[in-house]
Homo-oligomer: A and B are copies of this chain.
Amino acid sequence: MTPTSTPRPRWQRRSEDRPAELVAAALALFAERGFARTRLADVAARAHVSKATVYVYFANKERLFEAVVRETVTPNVDRAEALIRGYDGSTPALLRTLLLLFDGLLDSPMAAVLKVVLAEAGNFPELARVWGELVLQRMFALVQGVIARGIERKEFRVVNPAEMVPLVMSPLLLLGLWKHSLAPHVPVVLDRHAVLAAHADVLLRGLARPEDAHVQG
């Protein structure tokens, strides 16, 4: 162990992994502080890299955030779509399963990203566009398909599936924002799983055909 026995380089070239590492670091900070209050210097530090390196891989802050959105969101939507595709049980059960899966997403960084997108949509329309394209449209189609399936199979009464989508999703939105925005600072307590159970309950009763109102999936 002579003084010269430490030839560890001061930095390494890792152009393969850098982008993903930067995105991960950025995700954590954007989620925690929002877009405006996140400093690229901090992102860089968290990825063990200098600020200038960020600019080697991303043109600017906004593009970095766009990358965060893409990476965070796509796998989750993929999973949801796969779940639906392979399902062949009753539609009420399918809807319950889907809600459970969304419930899981509330703990993922996706919920935090959503918060930031909503907050910054006005300042960065491009972000809103990306989100709309990558998440909204696919999720929308997904849920709408489930409702339509239920109607076709005479498990639900006849409603306009498009109008049901926001109703299905909105409690999840609320719970997500609750968790990431208000919960830490407000004394009100919300039992997430109780609310979700109640949601599934009310929703399925509300969708049931009047003649079999007693049957609950």
Asked whether, in the complex, the Cβ of B214 is within 8 Å of the Cβ of A206, the reply is: no
Q: Give Cα distance in the complex from A164 to B175, angstroms.
A: 13
Q: Which residues of B contact A16 (CB under 8 A)?
A: none
Binds B, one of A44-52, A93-101, A103-111, A127-135: A127-135
Minimal beta-carbon separation of A118 from chain B (angstroms):
4
**Quick one: copies of this chain in the complex?**
2
Q: Which residues of B contact A202 (CB under 8 A)?
A: 159, 164, 167, 202-203, 206-207
Q: Give Cα distance in the complex from A204 to B167, angstroms.
A: 13
Asked whether, in the complex, the Cβ of A170 is within 8 Å of the Cβ of B163, the reply is: no
Asked whether, in the complex, the Cβ of B198 is within 8 Å of the Cβ of A125, the reply is: no
* A2-50 CB contacts (< 8 Å) to partner B: 32-34, 36-37
Q: Which residues of B contact A160 (CB under 8 A)?
A: 194, 198
Q: Which residues of B contact A129 (CB under 8 A)?
A: 185-186
Give the size range of A's interface with the partner: 35 or more
Which of B118, B132, B136, B201 touches A115 (beta carbons < 8 Å)? B118
Q: Give Cα distance in the complex from A94 to B68, angstroms.
A: 44
Q: Which residues of B contact A178 (CB under 8 A)?
A: 166
| A56 adjacent to chain B (CB < 8 Å) | no
Asked whether, in the complex, the Cβ of B207 is within 8 Å of the Cβ of A214, the reply is: no
